[in-house]
Each structure stands twice: as C-alpha cells, then as structure tokens.
Amino acid sequence: MFRHPIILAVLLFLSCGAQSQPSWRIDKLGVEDGLSQGYIYVIHQDKKGFIWIGTHGGLNRYDGYRFKVFQYSPFNSATLGDNAVFFLKEDSITGKFWIGGSSALNEFDPETFKNTRFSYDKKQLEFSDGIFVNRHELLLACEYAVLLFDTRQKTFSEVPVYDEENTPTSITRVENVAADREGNFMIMSRSGIFFYDTLTRSCKRRTANSPDFSFFRHYEVFNVLQDSKGYYWIATNKKGLIRFDPRSGESTGIRLPPPLNDEMLRFDVVVEDSRGNVWAGSSNGLFRIEAVSLESEYFSTHDNGGASLRTMK
C-alpha cells in the first residue's frame, strides 16, 4: 500500500452568504491529540456518529472529544491481524467492519471491539482496498491479485484477469477499487483500470456497460470518481488529475497552480462535495476544483503558495 501520510483534517464549510463564495476552515487532529499514528488511509463515520480512522499504527475511534485506539497484540488473537488499516467497510447486514491490513482481512465488531482474522492461505497479500459487490461478497484489491471474499462462508476465491484480447494476464500493483454511478466496479492499478464483470466473475479491460478507459491503460491509476454530472475523475501518478467525458471520449487535465506540475504529484483520493466541487488529495497537499470553471484552489502545510491548513481561507 503506497499512500501519502496525511493529517486528519476536519473541514468546516462556512458560507458567507447566498451569493458569496464559501470560506473553508480546516482544523487538525494529530498524534498530539491522541491519534495513534500520522499515516491515515481511511476515515469512516458509523451509524452512531463515531468517526473511525484507519492508520498505519492501528484503528482509532473518535467521539468528538478523544480517541480510543485498537491495535495488534501478539498475545490476543481477538485483536487486529496487524496495525495497518488500509480500508474499512461497514457490513449492512451485521453492522461489523471489514478491515484490510498488511497480512489479514479483519472482521471487527464495533460494539464488543472483538476481531476475527482471515488470511489468504495461497500467498501472503496486502489487503489494500475492498468494496461490496453484493450483500455478502467483498471485491478485494490485494497488491498483485484481485480476490472475492464471501462474508457468509468466510472463504476467498481468486478473480481471473483478462486483457483486451481476452487473454489471461496479471495486474501490476492493485491500488484501489470503486463503483461508479452505473454500477460498474473499477479496479485501479499501475497498469491502468480494469472492471469486475459480475456475470463472468472476472476482471476485464471493458465490460458491456463500462466506459472505454483504454487511453489510461499505461497510466498508474490510484483512484477514479464518477461525479454527479457523469464525468470521471482519474487520479494518477505523475500524469496529473484528469477529467474524462465518457460521452465524447475527451480528457481534460486539471491545471495546477505554480510552481506545481503533474510530474511532481501523485493523486490518491478524489471526492465530490454537495456543491459539485471536486476535492483531490495528493502527495503535496489538497486541491479543490470548481465544478464549472475547473479552476483549482490549493491547500498545503508547506509554504509554497498554497493556503495553510491552519488558517481561514
């Protein structure tokens, strides 16, 4: 798992009036506040309102006042399989959390704090990301393999991968999985984007309903978001943040404020807010891209032209 260390930032969106631009206040919560470690991979809010933060040093629960930390212990098999928490998905049936780590998939009970570990017996894999493809199956991004995990039977199965000619192939360094608004399940890797075909239970470059991402097959892709307008945002390593229109096939690179350039950055995370603006996390700070103009606003803790994370912008 190759992610950039970030500080937990809570964005408080403060509108200055109906016609004015919003201001952004960013408060920091870090190790000095009780967070177990500064490398943050996932943030999840559960049904009770608790914030769960997955780090390279364990799982943290934040109640608005303090952190409670859950970590691996070699003397207690009911703890996490290791301290890396790369992803966390809440099971809609059981309410338990499925957590991916460096060596194990974990089933964590947020009520009792008890954990059950599951390891893939054919090889040791890193469980980088996961997504439910139905109510009882998780599609798992696992370094150099894609797996399915049946949450009822508690069994793993390896998903075959095919190239453009429908020939068996391998994926180079699987990073993340995500679903678009059309129901396509996307697997992002250092050899481009693949799609999970629910009918054949295999990964392919294209399926019957998927967009054509062949342009990105040689890109290192870390994440993909489809926004509310239907555009896809492709987060890459050293190729920038790209907006792709599946209707026209047009790709638009997002211009970065100087002195930054695409070669300097790795984009890891892309999300859309309620105003339709896109937020992108990178190896050198946070960007907000305005939905219509595509102008970007830059936030960073570095003194290189971006807004400090400590100030009101």
Predicted TM-score (pTM) of the model is: 0.88
Q: For position 143, what pLDDT does the model report? A: 86
Tokens standing for 15? Answer: 């509108």
> What 8-state DSSP symbol labels residue 161?
B
d(C-alpha 176, C-alpha 193), whole Å: 10
Q: Tell me: the pLDDT tens digits for 160-188? A: 999 989 999 988 889 899 999 999 999 99
- The average pLDDT across 271-291 equals 91
CB 230 within 8 A of CB 181: yes
d(C-alpha 240, C-alpha 261), whole Å: 8
**Reported confidence tier of residue 25, pLDDT bands at 50, 70, 90:** low
d(C-alpha 298, C-alpha 312), whole Å: 13
Lowest mean pLDDT: which of 12-16, 153-157, 237-241, 270-274? 12-16
Q: For position 24, what pLDDT does the model report? A: 59
Q: Is the pLDDT of residue 13 over 60?
A: no
Tell me how long the chain is.
313
CB 241 within 8 A of CB 280: yes
Q: Annotate 72-126 with DSSP letters as a single string.
A: --TT-TTS-SSS---EEEE-TTT-PEEEE-SS-EEEE-TTT--EEEE--TTS---
Average pLDDT along the chain: 88
Pairing state between β 23-29 and 8-14: antiparallel
Q: For position 26, what pLDDT does the model report? A: 67
Q: Tell me: the pLDDT tens digits for 63-108? A: 999 999 999 999 999 999 999 999 999 999 999 999 999 999 999 9
Q: For position 163, what pLDDT does the model report? A: 92
1-119, CATH topology level: Methylamine Dehydrogenase; Chain H (2.130.10)
Q: Is the pLDDT of residue 9 over 50?
A: no
Q: Is the pLDDT of residue 61 over 60?
A: yes
Q: Is the pLDDT of residue 139 over 50?
A: yes
> What 8-state DSSP symbol labels residue 256?
P
Q: Please name which of 139, 230, 242, 251 lies closest in space to residue 187, comparing C-alpha atoms.
A: 139
**Reported confidence tier of residue 11, pLDDT bands at 50, 70, 90:** very low
192, with CB counted inside 10 A (0-12, 13-18, 19+), is buried
**Reported confidence tier of residue 311, pLDDT bands at 50, 70, 90:** very low
Q: For position 88, what pLDDT does the model report? A: 98
Q: For position 306, what pLDDT does the model report? A: 45
How do the domains of the chain map onto residue ranges?
Answer: 1-119
3-state secondary structure of 216: helix
Please, what is the end-to-end C-alpha distance for the chain in angstroms?
A: 32
**Reported confidence tier of residue 19, pLDDT bands at 50, 70, 90:** very low
Tokens standing for 115? Answer: 């954990």
Residue whose token pair is 């570095």: 302
